[in-house]
Amino acid sequence: MDDLAQIILSSSESDYLDQLIPLLKNAEIQTQVTPLIHALNHVSADREAEIERICNSNHQEFISSVNQLQSVREGTVSLTSEIMDLSKSIESSTEKLAEQKKALVDTRGVRQNIDETTQAIKDCLEVLRLANQVYDLLSRKSHYAALRALDELQNVHLREVARYKIAETIERSVPATQRLIAEAVMSDLNTWLYRIRETSQFLGEVAFYHTEMRRERQKKRAETDPFLGAFQLNSAVELVADEQEEFDVLDNSEVTVDFAPLFECLHIHDNLGQMDKFRADYAATRRTQKDLLIPQTVNLLDDESNELSSLLEGIAGFAIVEKGTMAKTENFRAQTDVDELWESMCQSAITLITSSLDSVSNDEKLLKIKGVIALFIQTMDSWSYPVASLDGLLLTLFDKYSSLLKTRFSDDFTEIVNTDDYMPMPIANPDEYAKVVNVSWYNPPSGHEDPETLTYPCVLPFSQMYPLVCIDIRNFLNQIYLFSDSHFRHTTVIDTVLRESLDSLLVHKVCRALVDRLASQYAGQIVQILTNLDHFEQACRDLELLLVEARSSSSAAGPIVLAATGEFREAKTKAEKRLFALVNSKIDDLIDTAEYNWQSRSAPDHVEDYMQELTSYLSNTMSSVLLGLPESIKSQIYFEALTHISQGLLALPLDESVPKISAHSVGQYQLDIQHLVEFVESLPERATLGPVMEELRQTGDLMGLAAEGQGEEFFDSSKAGVRFGGVDKIRGAVLLEKVQTRTQSTLFAPAPHSPTSADGFEGQHQKKPSVAGGFGGLGARFDQFRRDRS
């Protein structure tokens, strides 16, 4: 009805039609059109009534209006007819429209279902795509991306399709997929660990090379600045001085260790909440790799020490990776685990090396082994690994090394001593002289310091064994200290072993070997041994000073005293005694040849042959055999020899088999003594040797005085102290009792042609004459003197 009111109120026909058309369009069924028609009819009736009223007031107008109305009516009828047709048309259209609308509604429902299904399929397909993408990323080794995709799938996309079965299926597969990712990343990590294990040796080789370069740089710095030379490798000063030489062992032009697989594995296991398990698995894997790194045996006898180098390089590389892992991760590798692995590897290496040391019998080879181990220690010390156990291994190596050196030099010393000619060493030219002086501890005498001033060929006092032993001593010292050149912290041990070894070698292989040769009967050899011993004693004193200067330990102080110095001194005394014994033995032999006729009645006319031979022997011995001895020893031998001669000559007249001595025999005895005294006074050493002859000379004078009948002066203290102060009182008294005055000698002399005196020997053994008064009052005075002495 509202629509009808709008039609009625329309201001124009076009408005009317405009109002009618939507009404007809909205009329969906016939029942809605019929009221419209009734309404239109009612309107028409109202209009007619209104027209009739208007006509009543104005007929003409009414007539015209009727006519108009008639025409309008006709139009209305025509319009009504059209409306009816239109209504029918609308009714049919409305039915079709209803059918179409129903079909549209049904279609829209289907379409909505299709759209929802399509969207669900799209969502599921997206989930499946992401799920497949996870596996695709796994196949491309993008483990972390796969894990992120799986996390996004689980926490975002699966929630969007949570109402579908596929979400449940995929949700159940997530743990398995996570395990696949963990297994895949662990597989890659194991591959990385395998490559790391294969690279460890090369990594250690690069680290060793870098340490060697640091050694060279430190050596050059020490040559430039001696202050820097006092600091060892890895000391704070050395590290600061070497700061400008940047070098990353884990990332350089030779080798690069990429920790990306480890970081990825760490991140993935952290996201999976499996860090504890991963940490334990990684530690177990590294322990297994450590065990695979250590071989069953190691050969130390190859020329280049390749097996030992490979072993230590592998350990170094393994340990460096561990330190790098600790530095690049946080709370992943425990310090205790790393230290445990390090100590285990060190102990295994030490056990291998120690067990193989028995096969090494060459000290040079052992020095190479020590060099490799020292390089390993210095390299790992720079990575802050404890190296105390390895220092202990070096101490074991040094014990072996010093033992081998001692054995080798012991054989050398033995050969040198056994093959020496024990003759003064000949020198052909100045170069040879300079070499001998440089290698030995020989101090040339004054005026011989410059080799050019000497006349060649010349001889040196010692035999060739002395410079050869000195060369070996210097070599032994240098080779011992070679052990501490690169790295050896037990410097006190080196000093102690060096001193003890040198003492042992010099005492047992040189000194005592020379002492054993003192049994020789050849005086020249004894003299040469004595000369050598003297030079060795001096060499030991110089060596003591050298050892103090070369001492490795800076904390040690005080002098170094070699036991060999005292041994050589004692050996020199033994040699001197042996030489004294040989010289004295020869002197005894010569004196034993003295054939004095103590009852001779003929005046002497020449020196006895034995005395001439004795002085000739002394002269030859001093000028040839003892020529090479130091003046002090030569003088002492002369002194001892002359003392022995003096005592031997004094013993001749004092012999119990000589009861009486004739005046002529005294003259012969004095002549021989005078010859000996003159010989001594002709020597360059007469100032020191003269007093040795004093007792013998005074004894001869006393016997001559007694033969003159003036022996009583010996008992005159005022005179005897001046002329006979060197004569033993008892001996002098005995000789005075034996010596006959010239009168007595004539009185009791045998007949000229007595057969008992023909040769002058029988008289030596004749009994003491029983002449009353004997020596007159001298006998009584002698008895009284002897009682006083008692």
Tokens 């079965």 found at: 165
Please give the average per-residue pLDDT across 365-372, as a whole number. 88
Whole-angstrom CA distances from 225 to 37, 220, 476, 550, 790 are 128, 9, 29, 20, 82
- pLDDT tens-digit readout, 76-132: 778 788 778 877 887 888 888 888 888 888 888 888 888 878 877 777 777 677 777
Q: Per-residue pLDDT for 23 more than 70?
A: no
Q: Per-residue pLDDT for 415 more than 90?
A: yes
Name the pLDDT band for 536 (thresholds 50, 70, 90). Answer: very high
In terms of domains, do 241 and 302 share one? yes
Spatial separation of the C-alpha atoms in residues 701 and 735, rounded to whole Å = 11
Q: Per-residue pLDDT for 600 more than 70?
A: yes
Query: Residue 508: what pLDDT?
Result: 92
In terms of domains, do 611 and 731 share one? yes
In terms of domains, do 409 and 328 share one? no
Q: Which of 166-175, 350-359, 531-540, 555-564 has the lowest mean pLDDT?
A: 166-175
Residues 6+ apart with CB under 8 A from 24: 33, 86, 87, 90
Helices 165-224 and 143-152 sit at what angle, rounded to 10 degrees? Answer: 150
Q: Give the DSSP per-residue string, 229-280.
A: HTS-TTSHHHHHHTTTS---TTBSSS-B---HHHHHHHHHHHHTT-HHHHHH
In terms of domains, do 690 and 763 share one? yes
Last residue of a domain, one of 384, 410, 444: 384
> How many domains does the chain fold into?
4
Could you tell me if residue 250 is inside a domain?
A: yes
Last residue of a domain, one of 551, 576, 601: 576
CA atoms within a 13 Å half-sphere pointing along the CA-CB vector of 9: 6
Query: Residue 762: what pLDDT?
Result: 36
In terms of domains, do 709 and 604 share one? yes
Could you tell me if residue 8 is inside a domain?
A: yes
Query: By percentage, how much of the chain surpasses pLDDT 70?
Result: 80
Tokens 């004078």 found at: 701
In terms of domains, do 98 and 200 share one? no
Name the pLDDT band for 24 (thresholds 50, 70, 90). Answer: low
- Asked if residue 456 lies in contact with residue 427, where contact means CB atoms within 8 angstroms, the answer is yes
Name the pLDDT band for 777 (thresholds 50, 70, 90). Answer: very low
Q: Per-residue pLDDT for 470 more than 90?
A: yes
Q: Per-residue pLDDT for 759 more than 50?
A: no
- pLDDT tens-digit readout, 635-653: 888 888 888 888 888 888 8
Query: Residue 342: what pLDDT?
Result: 92
Spatial separation of the C-alpha atoms in residues 321 and 513, rounded to whole Å = 58
Could you tell me if residue 196 is inside a domain?
A: yes
In terms of domains, do 557 and 686 share one? no
The residue among 763, 702, 693 whose CA lies nearest residue 737 is 702
Q: Per-residue pLDDT for 452 more than 70?
A: yes
Please give the average per-residue pLDDT across 715-731, as a whole number. 77
In terms of domains, do 654 and 781 share one? yes
Q: What is the overall mean pLDDT for the chain? A: 79
What torsion do the CA atoms of 61, 64, 68, 74 make, to the nearest 10 degrees?
A: 130
Could you tell me if residue 189 is inside a domain?
A: yes
- Give burial (CB, 10 Å; 0-12/13-18/19+) of 322: buried
- State in Å, rounded, how far the first CA of the chain is from the last one: 192
- Give burial (CB, 10 Å; 0-12/13-18/19+) of 430: middle
Query: Residue 98: what pLDDT?
Result: 84
Query: Residue 243: what pLDDT?
Result: 67
Could you tell me if residue 448 is inside a domain?
A: no
In terms of domains, do 765 and 656 share one? yes
Could you tell me if residue 584 is inside a domain?
A: no
Name the pLDDT band for 341 (thresholds 50, 70, 90). Answer: very high
In terms of domains, do 113 and 232 share one? no
Could you tell me if residue 162 is inside a domain?
A: no
Tokens 């009861």 found at: 659
Last residue of a domain, one of 358, 384, 410: 384
Spatial separation of the C-alpha atoms in residues 579 and 573, rounded to whole Å = 10
Chain-centroid distance of CA 538 in Å reads 35
In terms of domains, do 633 and 693 share one? yes
Look at phi and psi of residue 331 and say left if phi exceeds 0, alpha if psi is from -120 to 50, else beta.
left
3-state secondary structure of 459: strand
Could you tell me if residue 273 is inside a domain?
A: yes
Spatial separation of the C-alpha atoms in residues 609 and 590, rounded to whole Å = 9
In terms of domains, do 682 and 562 share one? no
Query: Residue 471: what pLDDT?
Result: 94
Which structural domain range is residue 252 located in? 183-384
